[in-house]
Amino acid sequence: MTQTIQVKVMSKGKKIVVKDYLEGDEFDLSLQSLTSSTLPVKEIAAIKKGKKLDLSKNQISILPENFVWSMGHLVKLDLSANGLSELPDNFGNLSLLQHLDLFNNNLSSLPVGFFKLKLLKWLDLKENPLEYPGNEIVGLCRNDNECKTCALQVLDFMKKENANQEKQRQKELELKRAKKEALKKELERLEELENQEKRRIKQEEKAKEKAKRRAEFEKKKSQEQKEDCSQKSPSPTKSPSPRKSSSASPDLKTVSFVSALVLLIVAVSLAVILKPDLVNQQYAGLKGVTTEVFITVGEVFNPVFDTVNSQLQTHAPSIQRSIVATGELLQEMLVICRDTLKLGYELATQELKAFSTYIQKASF
């Protein structure tokens, strides 16, 4: 395929066509005063036929960034007498390079990636202030054999340096991993200590809460025991007293009096049965009196029943909790009832005798 690319490049104020400097497969761009900024990298890379490039005796101090990945097809490169101060780190990516001339530059070291130039068979590093690798590795390179030896020795040195650096990197990585692992373990340890402290605080809080609840329970239980004791033991306000008995006595006497009236009514009823005429004459209003008596009895008994009912409702819990107090109360009530019945019986007997005497006098 015929190349039709004609690229013009400025050199010393004149325009040049890159194709015009191609002879066979070699570009001869030496003595063109090219610099890092005027070097036509793209134009040279576009012509794949040019596998050899001569850039000697120019002013290229640093290779452009796109030089290496654009010139990967080169097998020969001449950069002598340019004043190069360094080579890019990826210079070893020119993997097809077999012939390299770096004579008379300012190189103090070569990149370790140089070991990737596995096809390199010829290398000239004379007239460079090289410190890495040293002159014992580079040699004199006064003829082709010495330049070939230089290429082999430099590649071997760079391989070893790369291996050493790789080992160093591995050690650094292992050291970083160890530090990272140690840091991770330390963080885990601190986290575990923090968790233990949290658990301890939580347990203490639980213990305090439990002790608080227990104290409240004991306090409540103690109060209940005190209340039970106060309810079981007779107190002046709750236990039956002579004053209460005396206050209940008038009510019971009233009941006894009412009982006597009932007996009187029974006697009158008998008199009516025996002598109805006499009774009808002398006691015409007996029916009204009897009615009033029954009403009075009802008025007396209703409050008594209400009082007894309210007392039973009030003292029901006390009766359940204290059998002794209830027994004393019942005993007191039995005594009162006995006295009341006795009094009622005496009153009824007296009234009955008086009524009987009155009936006898009335019959005569």
The end-to-end CA distance of the chain, in Å, is 180
In sequence order, what are the residues at sequence separation of 6 or more whose Cβ sits closer than 8 angstroms to the Cβ of residue 15? 8, 9
Among candidate residues 138, 167, 196, the one where a domain is terminated: 167
Q: Which pLDDT score is estimated for 318? A: 61
Residues 156, 270 within the same domain: no
In a domain, 216, yes or no: no
Query: Domain total for the chain?
Result: 2
**In sequence order, what are the residues at sequence separation of 6 or more whose Cβ sits closer than 8 angstroms to the Cβ of residue 59?**
33, 34, 35, 82, 83
Please determine, for residue 7, whether its predicted confidence score (pLDDT) is greater than 80. Answer: no
Q: Has residue 102 been placed in a domain?
A: yes
90-104 mean pLDDT = 95
The Cβ of residue 364 has, within 10 Å, a number of other Cβ atoms equal to 4
**Mean pLDDT of the 226-249 span:** 55
Residue that is last in its domain, among 167, 193, 218 = 167
Beta-bridged to residue 15, according to DSSP, are 10
Task: Give me the mean pLDDT over the 170-192 stretch.
Answer: 91
Residue 118 shares a structural domain with residue 264:
no
35 vs 351, residue with greater confidence: 35
Q: Are residues 18 and 149 in the same domain?
A: yes
In a shared domain, residues 143 and 266: no
Q: Is the pTM of this model over 0.85?
A: no
Nearest Cα to 22, choosing from 37, 38, 7, 39?
7
Q: Domain range holding 252?
A: 242-363
Helices (H), the chain: 41-46, 67-70, 135-138, 144-232, 242-274, 276-282, 286-321, 323-363
Q: Compute the average pLDDT of residues 80-97.
A: 94
Indicate the residue among 167, 185, 203 that finishes a domain. 167
Quote the pLDDT of residue 118: 93
